Structure 1
Amino acid sequence: MYLFSMKSAVQSFILFIFCIFLSCSAKNTNRVLLISFDGFRWDYIHRANNLTNFHRMISDGGWAVKGIKNTFLTKTLPNHYTIATGLYEESHGIVGNIMYDPVLNSTFHGWLDKDARDSRWWDNGGEPIWVTNQKQDTQHRSGVLAWPGGLAVVKGVLAYRTESAFDGLTKKERVDKIIEWFTDEYPINLGLYYEEEPDHTGHLFGPDSKEVLSMIFELDSLLGYFFDKLEDNDLLKTTNIILTSDHGMTSTPLDAEHKINLDDYVRVDSYSITSKNPVAGIDIIPASKELEDEVFKNLSRIPHAHVYRTKDIPRQYHYGNNRRIPMIIVEPEEHYWISFNGSAGVLGEHGYNNSLASMHPFFIAMGPDFKPGAKVDTFNNVDIYPLMCTLLGLKPAPNNGSLDVVSQLLIDREGSDSTTFGAYILILLLIALVGGLFSVAACQVHRQHKRQLRSISSFSLLHSFRYSKSDRMPLMSDSSEEEFGDS
């Protein structure tokens, strides 16, 4: 009975140790929430000292002090898909908010619902994070709210939860929606949230306007609402929050000095324009080498602008190797803008060269996997995809990103891995020790049991011997001998 009890106790202990082992070796289960505030320039958070929630993220997490470098063109749809895939625009194929595909013989208008859902435009080699998340783990589910590309099937996968940018929901209603996805019966572990401000306000009033400042405060309040909802649902401590944007914004004065009128250089009927302000993408449809040469020569006379044929676009732009890139690119200098066929300008614009600081968006992140107070100067937005894969325990699809810089914002994973390895060794030693003690104890119990059996056997033999000498029944032969002796 003692041996059985000891065996049960040892088995229970080993089972307990095994559970700890499984817990140590389990995948990271922390959620990821990626938030984009469209057109949020890197230095907007310095516009006021009392942006409580932005500053809370900086204090409790990590950030890029000088913002991050986005991709050329510095436009909304291309850069959001770059963030999602980790690829340059020439590689993932979304090279503009508007673009022409000569193979499809069709023009893409990214803000139209039909094109937002059409896989022919989005499924061109890039693998967005919501697809990677669901492909590699059947328990993983993605939710994509208004993020460009999130409504299309890519690599045969559609995000588990989707919501259109044209849903008519208010900002807070969108927050409620994504929190609902995180707390559903079958919850998501990855959520992407897109908000079109402060881009819209920046276009209308310019980046340095009081209206943009007011919108920044509104977004700070929205971020606080996010925190409250996450905390109310016990999600805040187990969610890695990444807050970033697609591009910045610069002022574009509407005076004649800063206006570039294409009609002064080329005939309206000699070209087709796809990509618009501030960078113009010019196509010649139907293609004509002679007409292309003429248009290029005339456009090259424009002051305050660089004009490139596709094959001559500088390599550092990563913008020359895709059939959807226009034949000719007109790239104005900062603050200059393009008009054609009488089109008007706006007070704020983006799309300029991605080397300009004014085009750079911000980046802040906080959560269980980010070091409080960590900071780096800058990194590339293609690095966000492999970062998210790391946080979710996923193997990244081919991408142009790197963890060299952004990993400095994370907790020490090498130290954590060493600690886990040490825990494995300790657990194995404990199991070996307990197993050894059990073996020794079992041997001792077995010897004691054998001694008891020997004692019992000896006692039985002695008792049998005594019984045979004094207490046995008389035999007939005994009495007969006595009778014959008496006679």
Structure 2
Amino acid sequence: MVSFEIGCNFIFILKKSFTLKYFKSLCLVVFLGVFQSVSARSANRLLVISFDGFRWDYIHKANNLTSFHRMINDGGWAIHGIKNTFLTKTLPNHFTIATGLYEESHGVVGNVMYDPAFKETFHGWLDKDARDSKWWDNGGEPIWVTNQRQDTQHRSGVLAWPGGLAIVKGILAYKTESAFDGLTMKERAKKMIKWFKDDYPINLGLYYENEPDETGHAFGPDSKEVLSKIYQLDNLLGDILYDLEDNKLLETTNIIVTSDHGMTPTPVKNDTLKINLDDYISLNSYNITSKNPVAGIFPASKELEDEIFQNLSRIPHAHVYRKKDIPPEYHYTNNRRIPAIILEPEEHYWISYNGSAGVNGEHGYNNSLTSMHPFFIAMGPDFKPGAKVDTFDNVDIYPLMCKLLQLKPAPNNGSLEIVSKLLVNRDSSGSSTFGVYILILLLIGLVGGIFGVAVCQAHREHRRRRLAVSSFSLPHSFRYSKSDRMPLMTNSSDDDFNDES
């Protein structure tokens, strides 16, 4: 676009005589064009994909995962996955990825949570709560909002990503799609690619799939069913990469593939792993929000809090905390939605109450457990091929996305210290500065050449007119004085050449 504008101005100026006035204009136009082309490298597109419950080591469980390994070879990855936030649940961690905030800061503290100010319970997988801003608009700024707030030409597309259906800070993503759209995996992937190709295309897409989480819950993380699902997701990722390539989008699109949490075995047939709350506290003495595996307990009255705490403290293979005593490294204290008491079982143990059943695989445990950690791989024009880091926190993904999109991050808990090692070094003080010098020299040469051509043309025109005058048909005997001489150029032309305005 800049080159086209410069070309148009060249034509306009050249059609005029090369006066100093227009020469100055030419220099200004060319300089601004070069400056803009050097200093305003446009950001590449960004596609973020989340495969729910994809544990960090799943890619080592299967052979010939061509698409995942292609991304690792052509881009960067976290060798031991990334550390998510406590609770290691789906909605809280997806909103953490989107905002770069701990759960106590962005306010989505569980898939199910009670807000004492609203006196209401949030069920995140219900469509009405997924769209209700009061549950999501609590100070955090999702990346799709940041993207549209800072550039009117930016458009975000959010497909099934938790929080993406709600208006936050007065902004809704340009394109949205519910998690319960009834589409197949391939149909969703096609829709996301279509959004990048529309007449008014998105430059940022966030895409969520609920596998292999559902399969892991049903059969356990070490099952053949989960292995089969991993191959299916590898094929899906391959389709996405090929579609981007076919539509000539791949070379200008950064792709991040990650997850919200891992999964650990909780075999329901093993009764020794079951913690039955009914054996310790009466059902009518409390309300419960999250229960698998961490239980969030709201005592029915303030007077019952001490009694409930003491009774829960007797449970083996579990830790019980009052809200004020939750360890600070959990970052799970400073929010009104966090329960008065939480009961945190050790890994593999699970909670039942009022006869509730368990599943064969579970997540939600302490985020220090490696079994809870998700994976992270990325590729694209801004990622170094073969780059790798050991691990990092998932709050770091938000500032990473902002850097890729050339946005100023909203306040967040993340850092670029580790993730920047995965990126191509585009230090403006090095090779970019050298490039600027080269372009300036080219600019000087270009303008000098144009000016030289213009001077030569003006000199030839001057000679042509003088010859035309000298060959004018006059009687041989006619003689004229200096005062009778015709001017070589008209007054208007002379004014043009001496115009300093």
Size of the alignment, in residue pairs?
Answer: 464
Is the counterpart of residue 50 in structure 1 residue 58 in structure 2?
no
Preserved contact between residue 52 and residue 220 of structure 1 (Cα < 8 Å) = yes
Q: Which one of the candidate residues 211, 217, 224 is aligned to 2:238?
A: 224
Q: Which one of the candidate residues 96, 99, 113 is aligned to 1:85?
A: 99
Is the counterpart of residue 256 in structure 1 residue 271 in structure 2?
yes
Preserved contact between residue 14 and residue 431 of structure 1 (Cα < 8 Å) = no
CA distance in 1, matches of 2:459, 2:160: 74
Moved more, 372-381 or 423-432: 423-432
Q: 1:451 to 1:212 in 2, by over 3 A?
A: closer
CA distance in 2, matches of 1:274, 1:2: 76
Amino acid across the alignment from 2:319: H
User: Which residue matches 1:479?
Assistant: none
Q: Deviations over 1:464-484 (max 9, x none)?
A: 99859xxxxxxxxxxxxxxxx
**Identity across aligned pairs (percent)?**
69
Q: Which one of the candidate residues 196, 199, 224 is aligned to 1:182?
A: 196
User: Which residue matches 1:419?
Assistant: 431
Is the counterpart of residue 145 in structure 1 residue 159 in structure 2?
yes
Q: 1:467 to 1:357 in 2, by over 3 A?
A: closer
User: Which residue matches 1:195?
Assistant: 209
Q: Deviations over 1:305-349 (max 9, x none)?
A: 010000000000000000000000000000111111111111100
Q: Which one of the candidate residues 306, 313, 316 is aligned to 1:293?
A: 306
Amino acid across the alignment from 1:160: Y
CA distance in 1, matches of 2:124, 2:399: 25
User: Which residue matches 1:135?
Assistant: 149
Question: With structure 1 as the length reference, what TM-score do the two structures score?
Answer: 0.88
Q: 1:182 to 1:305 in 2, by over 3 A?
A: same
Is the counterpart of residue 154 in structure 1 residue 154 in structure 2?
no
Amino acid across the alignment from 1:66: H
Q: 1:144 to 1:442 in 2, by over 3 A?
A: closer
Shift of 1:217: 0.5
Is the counterpart of residue 270 in structure 1 residue 285 in structure 2?
yes
Aligned residues: CA RMSD: 2.9
Q: Which one of the candidate residues 274, 293, 318 is aligned to 1:305?
A: 318
Shift of 1:231: 1.4
Amino acid across the alignment from 1:208: D
Q: 1:350 to 1:455 in 2, by over 3 A?
A: closer
Amino acid across the alignment from 1:365: A
Amino acid across the alignment from 2:341: I
Q: 1:52 to 1:6 in 2, by over 3 A?
A: farther
Amino acid across the alignment from 2:116: P
Q: Which one of the candidate residues 289, 298, 306 is aligned to 1:283?
A: 298
Q: 1:300 to 1:2 in 2, by over 3 A?
A: closer
Preserved contact between residue 28 and residue 391 of structure 1 (Cα < 8 Å) = no
Q: 1:19 to 1:283 in 2, by over 3 A?
A: same
Aligned to 1:230, the other structure's residue is in SS state helix
Aligned to 1:257, the other structure's residue is in SS state helix
Aligned to 1:413, the other structure's residue is in SS state coil
CA distance in 1, matches of 2:310, 2:16: 96
Gaps of at least 5 residues in structure 2 are 1-13, 481-501
Shift of 1:423: 2.5
Aligned to 1:66, the other structure's residue is in SS state coil
Aligned to 2:293, the other structure's residue is in SS state coil
Gaps of at least 5 residues in structure 1 are 469-487
Preserved contact between residue 27 and residue 393 of structure 1 (Cα < 8 Å) = no
Q: Which one of the candidate residues 224, 231, 245 is aligned to 2:259?
A: 245
Preserved contact between residue 398 and residue 414 of structure 2 (Cα < 8 Å) = yes
Aligned counterparts, 1:21-40, within 5 A: 21-40=35-54
Preserved contact between residue 383 and residue 406 of structure 1 (Cα < 8 Å) = yes
Q: Which one of the candidate residues 199, 224, 228 is aligned to 1:210?
A: 224
Is the counterpart of residue 66 in structure 1 residue 89 in structure 2?
no
Shift of 1:378: 0.2
Shift of 1:431: 3.1
Is the counterpart of residue 429 in structure 1 residue 436 in structure 2?
no
CA distance in 2, matches of 1:319, 1:3: 70
